[in-house]
Structure 1
Amino acid sequence: MLRMLFGEAPAKPEGRMAEAVQAMTDYASLLHKLVEEGKDRNHKARTYEIWTIGLIASLDELEQSCYAASRFCAMVKSYSVEDMGPDERLNYRRYVYFDKNAFIRLFAMLDKLGTLLNDMLSLETEQFKRQFSYFTVLHRMRDKKLHPGLAGPLTDIKNQYDEPIVRLRKRRNVEIHSMNSELQDDLMQLHLNFGDEVKLEDINSQMEDLAQCLDMAAGTVHLVFDYALSLLKPAVSK
C-alpha cells in the first residue's frame, strides 16, 4: 500500500515474512473449515480466525511502515535539522513519522499475538498480571514450563534480537509517556554541549534496529502459528 508513495507496486512477502503470512493464512483457513463444519460450539474458532486475520494485516502494516521509513531515511543526508533545506527537512519529518509508526506498531502487534497465544494455550497470564504484554506471556510459559516446544524457540529468537528490542522499547516508552522520541537525543546534547549545534540522531542505526525487529516479529509469528497448526490439524481431521 505505502509503496505507491514511491511509484512502486505492492511487494510480495519474502523470506520470514512469507513464512509467517503463509502459516497465519493456513491457520485461519483451518479455523474457517471448523466453523463451516459446525465444530465451533464455543465460538473460539471464529474468534481466533478473526484475530489471525487481524495479525496478518498488522504484520503487513508493520512491514510497510518500516519500508517507508527506510526510503525517507535514505533521502536525509545532513547532519542536523538546521543544515537541511525545505525538501530534505520534509523528508526527515516523513522519516520520523513512519519510524514512530513502525516501532509503535511493532509492540502493538506483538501484544496482539500475546493475547491470542495466552487464550489459545490457556496460559491464564491475566491471573499473574492483569494487563500483560507478549513478553509477559512468554515469561509465563517459561516460568511454568508450559509448551516447552514453543517456549524454547520463542525465547531463542527473543534473545537473539534483545538489544534492538530494548532500544526500540525505550524509544516507544519515551514517545508515549514523555516526549517526542526524536527530541530525546537533542535534549541530551543540549545538556552536555550547551551552545553547540545539535546533531541529528543516528537515523541509520535506528533503521537497522527496525529492520532487525521486523525480522524478529516475522520469525516469532511464524513459530507461533506453525505450532498452532500442529495443535489444530488433528481436530480438523476428525
Structure 2
Amino acid sequence: VLSTLFFGGAALTTGLLLVTGAAGYIANFGWLLTLTLLLLGLEIVWFFRNPNRKIPTEPGVVVSPADGTLDTIEEIEHHEYIGGPAIEIGIFLSIFNVHINRTPVAGKIIKLAYRPGKCLNALRPESTRENERLEVYLQMPEPTNRPMLVQQITGAIARRIVCRIKPGDELTRGQQFGMIKLGSRTVIVFPREPGLEILSKPGDKLLAGSTILAKYKADSESVTPAAEASDEEKA
C-alpha cells in the first residue's frame, strides 16, 4: 500500500509539473508569437510607407527615381534607345528604404518592356544586366524631346514589380509610377550632352523625387515644374 501511495504520488506530482511546464511554455510561446506578429506588422507598415516629397522645380534637373544608395555611375558610348552617348546610374534599395518609384523628369511614357531574367542579389554588379526587370521608356516634352529610361530590377528577395502606368501617359517630374517590393535596384539612363553636370556621386543616399542626380545647364524652360507630391498622389 505504501509503495502504491508513494509511486502514485510521484506520478501525480510529475504529471502536475509537466502540465504546469507545458502551460508555461504555451504562455511564453504565445507572447513570442504575438511579439513576432507585431514586429512583422510594423515592418509591413514601414515598408509600404509613402512620405511626402518636395519636388525640385528648377529647370533642367533630373531627380532620383528611387530611394537608396547610389552605387554606380557609368558612361556609355552609345545607347540604343538614347541614340547616342549616355549616363547610367544604378541605385541599390535595401529592405529599409522606401520602395516607391518616381519619374526623374516630366515627360510622356513611350513604351514599357518586360525582360525576364535571374533573381541575383541586387548588390551584385551583374544583377543590372541579368535580373528580371521592367523598363520604362519616356520622353521629355519639347523643345528637347530628350529620351530617358528607368529600369525597375528585381533582387534575390524582391521578385514583384508594380508599375501603374501605360504608354501615352503624361507624367510630371517626381510623380509616383510604381514600386519594387523588398530589396532591389533601380537604374536610370539619360543622354550625355555638353553642359550636363552630374550632381550626385557613388555612396550618396538618395530620396526619390527630391535628390537631384544631374542638371542640363542648357535647359532654361524645357522642364515642366512639379508641385509638392503627397501621399494621396496616384501612381
Same fold, TM-score > 0.5, yes or no? no
Please state which band the TM-score falls in when normalised by the shorter chain: under 0.3
TM-score w.r.t. the length of structure 2 is 0.25
- More strand by proportion, 1 or 2? 2
TM-score after normalising by structure 1: 0.25
Q: Greater helix percent: which structure?
A: 1
State the structure with more CA Rg.
Answer: 2
